[in-house]
Amino acid sequence: MIDVESVSARFGGRTALTEACFAADDGELICLTGHHGSGKTTLLRLLAGLAKPTTGQVRIDGHAATDHAARSVCGFAQEEPALYGFLTVREHLAYDCALHGIRLQPILERLQDTLLEGRHDLLVRDLSPGMRKQLGLLAATLHDPTLVLLDEPTKGLDATAVSDLRTTLRGWRAQRKTVIVCTQNPAWVTDLANRLVILRDGHIMHDVRVADETVTTALLRLDPHQQI
Ligand SMILES: Nc1ncnc2c1ncn2[C@@H]1O[C@H](COP(=O)(O)OP(=O)(O)OP(=O)(O)O)[C@@H](O)[C@H]1O
């Protein structure tokens, strides 16, 4: 599904990623962590095809990540969702559905029992940060992508919303989607991930499968300074 070959990303004089090599199979749920500025978001943006590496290759299902064929199977929920504040929730979802040629009604039904229930007609700019986060996640994944990239998905969410997100992740695992969850604090996702990747200063320091132990245990073993 994912093939990252010797990828470096430089911004002016600053290097965000250095010679990163990384691969992922269908059905993996990978926890990507590391300190601030370690290169996590840069890696996700390269996987989503939103940026090109300075050197190296990023391929999704054999296609360059920037190609339409790769981007159409990918859903990227950014840390700060890029939403149109002047639209209502319903209008926003109608727009997102139109982009993907999807019917709106089944998507609106998914708002039941979420923070957005009963808020179809609220302007997006009047939503709380947690509601915006939920709308961003839904907008990024309503086309049923096989590769889901989540950047700090719990930021701004309360415990109930985090629990709902965990249920969603379990569902995606059952559907064998490939999911990469980028998070500063991995405790909430430790039991769901099968693999842990730790970035430090643009280098992939650790990339371990965690079939026999929880991500938390592996993380503490590999990097005792991580926040758990
Ligand atoms: N567009 C850009 N222009 C200049 N520098 C950038 C750009 N994007 C990222 N960087 C730099 O690359 C490095 C890695 O940034 P990145 O956002 O990938 O880190 P991160 O691990 O996601 O950090 P955080 O946990 O704080 O979100 C940082 O030093 C950042 O300042």
Give the Å distance between the CA of 126 and the centre of ligand 1.
29
**Could you state, in order of their start, the residue ranges of all structural domains in the chain?**
25-49+70-222
What pLDDT does residue 156 have?
A: 87
Closest CA to 180 of 195, 168, 190: 195
Ligand 1 contacts CB of residue 39 (under 6 A): yes
pLDDT in tens, 98-110: 999 999 999 999 8
* Residue nearest ligand 1's atom 27 by CA: 36
* Residue nearest ligand 1's atom 28 by CA: 37
What pLDDT does residue 163 have?
A: 92
Atom of ligand 1 nearest to the CA of 202: 14
pTM value is 0.92
Phi, psi of 209 (to 5 degrees): -85, 140
pLDDT in tens, 104-144: 999 999 898 888 999 999 999 999 999 999 999 999 999 99
Say what the ipTM of the complex is: 0.96
pLDDT in tens, 11-21: 998 999 999 99
Atom of ligand 1 nearest to the CA of 182: 22
User: Which residues of the chain are under the pLDDT cut of 50?
Assistant: none
Please state the CATH superfamily assignment of the domain spanning residues 25-49+70-222 in this structure.
P-loop containing nucleotide triphosphate hydrolases (3.40.50.300)
Residues paired with 52 in a beta bridge = none
- Measured CA to CA, the distance from residue 96 to residue 163 in angstroms comes to 25
Tokens 């415990």 identify what position? 159
